[in-house]
Amino acid sequence: MIFNALNNNFIGMYSSKLIHILRTFSSKELKDFELYIRSPLFNRNKSVLNLLSILKKHHPELTDNSLSYENTAHKLFGSADIRKLRYVMTDLTKLAEQFMALLIHLKAPEKNRLQAYQERSLDKFFQQELKKQEELLTVSPIRDDSHYQFMQELNELSFKFTLEHDNRNIDTTLQSLVDHLDLYYLTRKLKYSAEIINRMNILNVQYDIKLLENLLEFLHEHPFDDAPQILVYQQILKTLQQPEKRSNYEHLKVLITTHLTAFNRDDQYDLFGYLQNYCIKQINSGNIDYLNELFDNYNTMIEREVVIKNGTIAQFDFKNMVTVALRVEQYEWTAKFIDNYQHHLPEEQRINAVTYNKARLYFYRQQYRNCLKELLTVEFTDIFYSLDSRALLLKSYYELEDFESALSLINAFKIYLKRDKKVSGYQKDTYLNFLKIVNQLTRYKLGYLKSGLPVEKMIKNTKQVADLTWINQKFRELNLPDAQIE
């Protein structure tokens, strides 16, 4: 009972809103937050500042066993007054929430500054700031939904200003206000409608998208040719709803590449996601020609730096690009890509990602010993790389006809799959099935099986298998009479 009480005491502190918030702060943000609460304008409770001083010693993890309510209260007050500690934690949490809101405000203070000028009747400065913001928006190449939203908000502030100064007869902003309101609504409606239909195509879910057909009919009769977001999302919807027409995809690709700079970085990345999903769906339907199309899209993402966000490439984008390049036999391109872009990978993932993808390049080039050498130099920490590197290692042993090493690895791999708690049930089944089939292929090659029919039956009857394409290829290479796998 004593252990449980102490454990709950620690878990309660560990799972508090305050701890969750502070974990998200960078080192710089934590220092700025301390300066924030030192100001008497925001905080005059010394206990709040002292509590932060205690907690910051354990930042960023904030998982130390000493961070129990009881221990923290002792450090703060000299006694285990947990109730009093909770009050101080509540005050510090509120200040942390205010600080987070301030950080958001500092990213885009323009509207709030205009409102402050307006509320204080600082008309001259209001008009100067309004003109400045309108000019900045005019010269900006971006024409996304946020652009139209901010334009509409500026028009609304300007309209209110004219009302307050009885200038109804000379107002010129009301038309602009409703125009930008329409543009903002239409871009958002089309953008999220496209995302909904995309999800309906991928997942077994249903949505009710009201007014969409009416809007599309309206836009067909009244096109917004000077609004790139509307043109692009209209075409995305058409491509999603009529995927059998390649011309829809081709036109979408032209629109995206032509108007790419009108979108912010996140939207640019998502737009190429629609192109990729279309290609992948076609490839899965047997249209292998779309592999080259998919490779071209990835190439464009690299050339236009769409795939690089804040100087970083996500490890799975890196892997997917290598995968597609290898499948279209762009080996030199792959080698240059790994060398030139590896520094964009997050540092903590870089060694795993680079080693694994270099090993795959060696494997595709049939340089199996180099592949083995690459894989055996690193202990993979990420579960994905850990699983796939073992599979790649096994395939290399098989290709080299080192069947003893292959059988030994199969046994070790099975034990790993059964013992490692991080491996999901789906992953476990997928790789165990892979091991069973490779084990049968190996046994046949060694002469332990007189017939290849059990191997073929196992391949046909197994639903979830890793590297099924490679398995089918290795089975075909057995050149069995009457084999049905093509």
pTM of the shown model: 0.75
The answer to whether residue 290 is domain-embedded is no
The answer to whether residue 218 is domain-embedded is no
Predicted local confidence at residue 1, as pLDDT = 37
The answer to whether residue 465 is domain-embedded is yes
Q: Which domain holds residue 32?
A: 2-107
- Judge if 424 and 457 occupy the same domain: yes
- Judge if 60 and 137 occupy the same domain: no
Domain boundary pick from 151, 184, 217: 184
| Rounded to 5°, angle at Cα 124 from 120 and 129 | 90
Phi, psi angle pair for 337, to nearest 5°: -60, -45
In contact, 90 and 72? CB cutoff 8 Å: no
- Judge if 30 and 100 occupy the same domain: yes
Predicted local confidence at residue 424, as pLDDT = 86
The answer to whether residue 386 is domain-embedded is yes
201 contacts: CB under 8 Å, gap ≥ 6: 240
Give the chain's mean pLDDT. 89
- Judge if 99 and 145 occupy the same domain: no
Collapse the DSSP code of 10 into the 3-class scheme (helix H, G, I; strand E, B; otherwise coil) and give the result.
helix
Across 90-105, b (16+ Cβ under 10 Å) vs e yields ebbbebbeebeeeeee
Predicted local confidence at residue 4, as pLDDT = 44
Show the low-confidence residues of the chain (pLDDT under 50).
1-8, 10
Cα–Cα distance measured from residue 141 to residue 269, given in angstroms and rounded to the nearest whole number: 17
Give the residue among 244, 245, 262, 240 at the shortest CA–CA distance from 190: 240
The answer to whether residue 49 is domain-embedded is yes
- Judge if 398 and 476 occupy the same domain: yes
- Judge if 63 and 165 occupy the same domain: no
350 contacts: CB under 8 Å, gap ≥ 6: 342, 343
Predicted local confidence at residue 169, as pLDDT = 57
The answer to whether residue 405 is domain-embedded is yes
- Judge if 93 and 52 occupy the same domain: yes
Please count the structural domains in the chain: 3
Collapse the DSSP code of 309 into the 3-class scheme (helix H, G, I; strand E, B; otherwise coil) and give the result.
strand
- Judge if 383 and 486 occupy the same domain: yes
Domain boundary pick from 184, 200, 230: 184
- Judge if 430 and 482 occupy the same domain: yes
- Judge if 178 and 94 occupy the same domain: no
Predicted local confidence at residue 3, as pLDDT = 37
Predicted local confidence at residue 2, as pLDDT = 38
Predicted local confidence at residue 263, as pLDDT = 94
Task: Please give the distance of CA 147 from its chain centroid, rounded to a whole number.
Answer: 23
- Judge if 93 and 138 occupy the same domain: no
